[in-house]
Amino acid sequence: MASPQPGDIAYLPQELFQMLVGYLEPVDIVRCRRVSQTWYEAFGNPSSLIPIAKERFPLAKEVRELYQTAASACGEEYSEKRLHQWRAVFDKVSERYYRLARGRPRSIQKFNLQGNNNHGKGGYRTFRVSPWETHSSHFGDNIDMFFDQALWTYEEGLAVFPNEDEDCLTLLDLETQHTFMVPFVTAEKIIRRLRLHDRLLVIEWAENEPFHWLNERDSVHRHYATSFDITQDGRGWDITLRNEWKIMFLGHPLGERDRFFSTHSRSHYAIYVWQPNRSLYTAEEDAPIESLSVWDISRRSEYRASQDPTGRLRDTSADSGPPIVNRLTFRELGFHSVRQGGLPGIIRLDIPNGSDSISITEVKNPGLSDEYNPLEYSPRVFVTTIPFIGQGPSWRRRVDTLFPPYRGNCAMEIPPWTKTAPFPCYWGICEATDNKAGVSFCLSYLFPQSYVEGTETHTLTVTIHTPGAITRLSHDLSRQLSVKGKICGNERFVIGEDGENQLTVLRF
């Protein structure tokens, strides 16, 4: 035990004590409090912790918020209440970055997801959109692995997923760990995709029963989109229905050959549809039917398109739901140089807020080579911006961003790849980056491993980048996040999906 004598380090002048403490790791400062009551008070003095917190963790969320609050408090930064807040923040942030630097989460939480194509207790099921087998970002005809579409969505601390235990769509607040039921009637519906963006939740779904058959194998189902506003109410969240609309005039088959991709902002919704040409007279291998349609979804509406499948009430009612503002056929898409054909290159759809235009991002491989080296993979990325209201030219340009190869539909939801070290862009799969904190979780593909049976599997890993360290999660923890090739999160947690059909949350 340390002796509480004037020669003790705890009795040094504040300037000398601060100098010595500056050589310690933040977690060691917390450990020093266990030595004695005197050390507990000295190493817990907020006046000593504040400079260290600002120096070591200037980008951490809690430090940023307290620093901004203190800056606007007109000299009250060191009030007694605020000093206790700084101490609590220092301890919390020190533990978090200690765990991040070692890949050791503080806790693991799991939620059971509704299985693909399985009927839930409430009579609904899920049917994910099929991926393309070939994409222009691939080298050759094959890609190392494909991932099924993840049927959950995330944005800034909120996640929405089909909760098997509660038999409903659930909103999860990852900060408070509270859950809220989304007031969406799931009975007799097929959920195709969920997307949360700009605090607006869009659910794309189809009727359970087909309304006609194209042939013996393809049945056509009416497809709709329902949107909900997500607004904070105290410590909880208010989920309010905004509107509903029919997203495909002639419906859409539930199969492996027909695909659609969409995006939305607070005011507009856009959907790109890609379907094989089934005509007996004009079918061409590289001539699928394509279209791009945009709706104005900014206004609330009581009209329910699913209750009026023929559209008769829409024609006679003043409240007719979200109007379509533009539709581009394959000819217009070809005119703007974004028709995908038999070898698609599209990787993202975006509607910038406040803009009456849509941006289409395409990725092209740099060309085939007999001496292909994934370490040198550097795709060509093109962005084409097309106005959907008014008249104006489109703008097509090449950009210097990087996208990993397309490995499934979740690849169309990820941002550009930024952490090119310690692995090349080709090995990248998905990033979850907290730009304000400078923390990134990177899901990457490493190398194939051959086993005794002769089968080839691939190793996936999640690498954590912080301002002061780079480390990897263990193989077991990486496996619990990576089965769908999609991870999301920030400096405080990362979420993904495991092989047991569970949404996994690692908290740091």
pLDDT in tens, 308-342: 877 777 766 677 789 999 999 999 999 999 999 88
Is residue 239 domain-shared with residue 270, that is, in the same domain?
yes
Write down which residue in 102, 130, 153 finishes a domain: 102
- pLDDT confidence tier of residue 297, bands split at 50, 70 and 90: very high
Does some domain include residue 2? Answer: no
Residues pairing with 396 in the sheet: 384
Question: pLDDT-based confidence at 503, cuts 50/70/90?
Answer: very high
Average pLDDT, the chain: 84
Q: Are 91 and 111 found together in one domain? A: no
Are 152 and 145 spatial neighbours (Cβ–Cβ below 8 Å)? no
The fraction of the chain above a pLDDT of 70, given in percent, is 86
Do the beta carbons of residue 156 and residue 196 sit within 8 Å? no
Which of 126-135, 151-160, 305-314, 437-446 has the weakest average pLDDT? Answer: 305-314
HSE-up of 128 (CA within 13 Å, CB side)? 17
Look at residue 497 and tell me whether its pLDDT is greater than 90. Answer: yes
Share of the chain above pLDDT 90, in %: 45
pLDDT digits (tens, 9 = 90+) for 44-83: 787 788 888 888 888 889 888 877 765 555 545 556 667 7
The answer to whether the CB of 86 falls within 8 A of the CB of 66 is yes
Looking at the 3D structure of the chain, how many domains does it have? 2
Are 278 and 228 within one domain?
yes
Are 156 and 61 part of one and the same domain?
no
Residue 451 has pLDDT above 50, yes or no: no
State whether 111 and 98 are in the same domain: no
Is residue 320 domain-shared with residue 227, that is, in the same domain?
yes
Same domain? For 487 and 361 the reply is yes
Q: Is the pLDDT of residue 467 over 60?
A: yes
Average pLDDT score over residue span 410-436: 84
Tell me the one-letter amino acid at 192.
Answer: R
Two tokens at 127?
A: 């049917």
Rounded mean pLDDT of 223-238?
92
**Chain segment 197-221, per-residue pLDDT in tens:** 999 999 999 998 888 887 777 788 9
pLDDT score recorded for residue 280? 57
- Indicate the residue among 77, 102, 127 that finishes a domain: 102
Domain span at 50: 9-102
Are 316 and 449 members of one domain? Answer: yes
Residue 1 pLDDT > 60, yes or no? no
The confidence score (pLDDT) of residue 452 equals 42
pLDDT for res 450? 45
Pairing relationship of beta strands 219-221 and 252-253 according to DSSP bridges: antiparallel
Residue-wise DSSP of 72-135: TSTT-TT-HHHHHHHHHHHHHHHHHHHHHHHT--SEEEEEEBPPBTPPPTTS-EE-PPPPPS--
pLDDT confidence tier of residue 118, bands split at 50, 70 and 90: low
Which one of 115-129, 282-296, 491-505 scores highest in mean pLDDT? 491-505
Q: CA-CA distance, 233 to 225, in Å (whole number)? A: 25
Pick the more confident residue, 353 or 357. Answer: 357
Q: What is the pTM of this model?
A: 0.86
219 within a domain of the structure (yes/no): yes
The whole-angstrom separation of Cα 449 and Cα 479 is 15
CATH number reported for the structural domain that contains residue 74 in this entry: 1.20.1280
Do 169 and 226 reside in the same domain of the chain?
Answer: yes
Per residue in 250-288, pLDDT (tens digit) is: 788 888 888 999 999 999 999 999 988 776 555 555 588
Q: Is residue 2 pLDDT above 50, yes or no?
A: no
Identify the residue with better confidence: 161 or 450. 161
Q: Which of 47, 72, 102 marks a domain boundary? A: 102
* Residue located via tokens 């605090």: 199
32 occurs within a structural domain: yes
Has residue 372 been placed in a domain? yes
| Gap between the Cα atoms of 67 and 311, Å rounded | 56
User: Are residues 50 and 150 both part of a single domain?
Assistant: no
143: in domain: yes
SS3 content of the chain, % helix, strand, coil (to 5): 20, 35, 45
Highest mean pLDDT among 50-59, 122-131, 224-233, 444-453: 224-233
Q: Are 116 and 85 found together in one domain?
A: no
Residue 136 lies in a domain: yes
Residue 423 inside a domain? The answer is yes
Collapse the DSSP code of 135 into the 3-class scheme (helix H, G, I; strand E, B; otherwise coil) and give the result. Answer: coil
Taking only the tens place, the pLDDT of each residue in 362-388 is: 998 876 555 566 667 778 899 999 999
Q: Quick one: tokens of 164?
A: 């098997």
Tokens standing for 82?
A: 């605020």
Q: What is the strand order of the sheet 212-213 is part of?
A: 212-213, 219-221, 252-253
CB–CB of 415/429 below 8 Å? no
For residue range 12-27, what is the model confidence (pLDDT) as tens digits? 777 788 888 878 888 8
**Mean pLDDT calculated for residue range 385-406:** 90
Confidence of residue 162 (pLDDT cuts 50, 70, 90): very high
Classify residue 4: in a domain, yes or no: no
112 and 91 assigned to the same domain: no
